[in-house]
Amino acid sequence: MLLMGIETSCDETATAVVSSDRQILANVIHSQLEEHRPFGGVVPEIAARSHLQNLTGIIRSALEEAQIGFEDLSGVAATGGPGLIGGVMVGVMAAKSISLVHGIPFIAIHHMEAHALTPRLTDAIEFPYLALLASGGHCQFVVAEGPGRHHVLGSTIDDAIGEAFDKTAVLLGLEYPGGPAIEASAKRGDATAYKLPRPMVGRDNCDFSFSGLKTAVRKLVGSVNDEIEDKIVVSNIAASFQHAVAEIVADRTQYAIKQFKAKYPTGTSLVAAGGVAANLLIRSTLDNAAQAANLNFVAPPIPLCTDNGAMIAWAGLEHLRTGHQSPLEFAPRPRWPLDELAATGQG
């Protein structure tokens, strides 16, 4: 069975073709990075127009790369939310049209569920498993119980983890997107150079908070004044920030694992998903936490951590195999709590 997946919820226009035996036949991504870079962040209007302009060509390229035609597809999935509404509408409408013309099922996919299910595509892991979903808009611990069935254990009470990277990068005058820029700069820095706070550490739950850390970085940048022009000062702050985030993640993961093991004694894996899972320090932090608790640690290869069409196609396959599909009346959802999936009929 072959499925097409379309992702347009942020600044990547992506289409992939994936088979039910976990082969990625095509995975085409157009990044809008250069279009948004002058603005230091994603501009929703520019994103929507760019998706509209590029998506059809990308769909054609994906079919060519997979060496198939629409008639070979068993269904078409698209991100139905959460995300920037203009872009989501472009992807959903394209998928609905393909579904209508070719008489194949359409499946609207929750973007974060697709991140969470990716380790089943790459590593065939079994439900239930504990996932840290860490992206520009999300930061939560979720137990994946099955397609459409996810139990949220804890979330951020303010900024998402990727947002913290992105905002800190702006304070440091680093390039957009901030996560990779901070990781690169931190390589040359001393992580013990500055002492930064670790909000929530030690609390008996698995929620996150990053706003205090961001404020501390802002004050620190103010206090070093002219020195911020110095690349070493920037690298030292970037390294100290990244180290603080890693320690927060280590602590919160311990609590999440405790809850996961208590509720799901058969679970054996900790998974990292979302763009921040591309960060090597965060990956090794999670790997250590998993090892200490006798869990397997699974993180998709980096290009499958950031936004892509393969994760959407795979999530579509998971739903289709369980008999789920979406009505053509499906309305894109800019906000869509992950644990509401089953209740809204998407699960």
Cα 136 to Cα 313: distance, rounded to the nearest angstrom:
21
Binds ligand KG4 by CB under 6 A, chosen from 79, 306, 326, 346: 306
The residue with tokens 């960060």 is: 279
Q: Could you tell which of Zn ion, ligand KG4, none binds residue 179, using a CB distance below 5 to 8 A set by kind? A: ligand KG4
Tell me which residues in 121-150 interact with ligand KG4 (CB under 6 A): 135-137
Nearer to ligand KG4, 74 or 155 (CB): 155
Q: Which two tokens stand for residue 30?
A: 């157009």
Does position 8 bind Zn ion by CB under 5 A? no
Binds ligand KG4 by CB under 6 A, chosen from 106, 129, 165, 241: 165
Binds Zn ion by CB under 5 A, chosen from 118, 135, 168, 242: 135
Alpha helices in the chain, H assignment, sequence order: 33-36, 44-66, 85-102, 111-123, 161-171, 178-186, 211-224, 231-263, 280-292, 302-305, 309-321
Find, among 77, 49, 28, the residue nearest to 319 by Cα.
Answer: 77
- Tell me the residue type at 276: V
Does position 159 bind ligand KG4 by CB under 6 A? no
Does position 307 bind Zn ion by CB under 5 A? yes
C-alpha angle 319/324/327, rounded to 5°? 120
Nearer to ligand KG4, 106 or 165 (CB): 165
Does position 27 bind ligand KG4 by CB under 6 A? no
Nearer to Zn ion, 147 or 162 (CB): 162
Strands in 2-7's sheet, in edge-to-edge order, are: 24-31, 12-19, 2-7, 75-81, 106-110
Q: Could you tell which of Zn ion, ligand KG4, none binds residue 208, using a CB distance below 5 to 8 A set by kind? A: none
Query: Is 280 strand, coil or helix?
Result: helix
Does position 177 bind ligand KG4 by CB under 6 A? yes
Binding site for ligand KG4 (CB under 6 A): 10, 135-137, 162, 165-166, 177-180, 183, 274-276, 278-279, 306-307
* Binding residues vs Zn ion (CB under 5 A): 135, 307
